[in-house]
Chains A and B, each alone.
Chain A
């Protein structure tokens, strides 16, 4: 049984211009010890989906569907059980380590608070564990760091501390929401390695949310591509990169400048921009930007369906790179 199952989850946010459908009927699942990459551009709903899993949606948001975690439906859990579950089994690392740490508390206080609260350790034991954790995430001189404040650390260090706090209670699932977007490329590589190492060691499941296909390519077991609130393609990472069926996925990959391309080569850009999420389209949301779109794409929404292998799903009437005899 998967550790996490997201079933038919939808999130709507009221705005002055009408309801914004941030997440539109998403199904996903994740086994223990595996990594799922969720890829998409800003506004595609990837962060809202992760907030739905964590039950950290804005107050006015309307959530429907089920989020099954380790046999319990998180949507129906009472706040107290949720709170216990969140720190101990479900942890999160946010994009900006400056705003996710409390600026007026020392690093030691923030780490030990979590550990004491959830693992019911006394202060000396919590302190010892904090030092071990900081050492594990690669922070030099961890004992001295405990007395420091977040502003005394660099962005990379702060993200390591945020990861240490997230890992402190040995969670079963770690959600990393753009964990390296605010960091420099050399620090990004270090943080991604750290996450992968800790995940292997702890046999933890992980969701990496990113806009960068490069970040998930080498590090996720499975990738889900989101566009305008929906999962439009989902497949084991190797299968996806070998053969993309959804035109959006292909276009997204093509639009990234590549190191092997000669300078001044025009980039295959995706024309236009994503649709207004308060004005849902009748057909496929990518149709207005898609070179393969036909009348059918503007009339009906393609459902997610399997390609050659059953784990490779795509939502498109005119999939690309299909082997003969399969698909639409």
Chain B
């Protein structure tokens, strides 16, 4: 019974997280009170436009950026309260994959050493053991260990570099991986290969993923649930199919309408989107989306909408949700 309860607990629980940056004498409100959870074995997609705080949120979860307030519970333990050795130990269980695969590999180091580095940091002293694990993970991501171990990053294409980054992230057998725009820098034909690889790796290593991207179609392809973020706050969280079939928040609907569809019979809707996101230095009062929202009224500027359940499993933060 005890064990069951533990298993039902979400692996990650983010509770009212606030992250702010100083910019001169101003404050950037990057993440303003976000709560979400990711169940064990689940992929949660996190979408939003540039500057909405999605990457900051990803980093704050991993404690690469410390939160001003709020909690990040990983497997029941509060990461925001951890420091030093305890945090380092915990980090073996959580990993990060970045957007730019070439920039995130040290150009002077050989692939074998790059992928072995996390093992060294984790204290795996046996060189033969390290070699075995590096070879294993390189084959898992579809690279031939004999051909790549002694080569340098510049000898590889963007897609292959992302495979190497994935190998490095997985070599410690983590439970949770934050993927921050892992395919945005890749070409269409390579993007599909890497998305398929991530799905494969998730099944093989039993991973739980937080998948951050700005492309809704990419997010849908891999996510069980999707959270939509706008200017530091969550607008809507719902199971993927439900979110795309029946968006409830006007911002989600706007994002969906703006995607160019590769079908000439679908006439692009005359840009529904009005204006641009305001600055996170001085976010609008009340609902942050109200300055671009066709449904906004006085209440939206006076009162911050809370995230509440509007349909089974579907949560939206809006005073005037779409039917």
Contacts and interface: CB of A to CB of B under 8 A. Distances in A.
Contacts of B276: 154, 156-157, 187
A215 B133 CA distance: 43
A193 B272 CA distance: 10
A267 B260 contact: no
A49 to B, nearest CB: 17
Contact of B50 (A184, A217, A267, A268): A184
Given A218-B264, A237-B264, A271 B256 contact: no
B188 interface: yes
Given A217-B260, A219-B268, A252-B189, A185 B195 contact: no
A187 B270 CA distance: 12
A241 B218 contact: no
A16 interface: no
Interface size class of B (residues with CB under 8 A): 35 or more
B221 to A, nearest CB: 4
Given A241-B262, A267-B195, A41 B188 contact: yes
A273 B157 contact: yes
Given A214-B259, A218-B264, A259-B217, A270 B271 contact: no
A188 interface: yes
Contact of A211 (B159, B188, B195, B214): B188
A184 B298 CA distance: 28
B49 A184 contact: yes
B258 A188 contact: yes
A267 to B, nearest CB: 4
Interface in B193-212: 193, 195-196, 199
Interface string B47-85: 001100000000000000000000000000000000000
Contact of B260 (A42, A188, A269): A188
B254 interface: yes
A185 B187 contact: no
Interface of B: 49-50, 157, 159, 187-193, 195-196, 199, 214-218, 220-224, 240-241, 244, 254-273, 276
Across the A-B interface, give the 9 residue pairs with the lowest CB-CB distance, nearest first: A214-B260, A269-B192, A186-B273, A267-B192, A270-B189, A255-B192, A257-B221, A184-B49, A41-B187
Interface of A: 41-42, 154-157, 184-190, 192-193, 211-215, 217-219, 237-238, 241, 251-253, 255-259, 261-271, 273
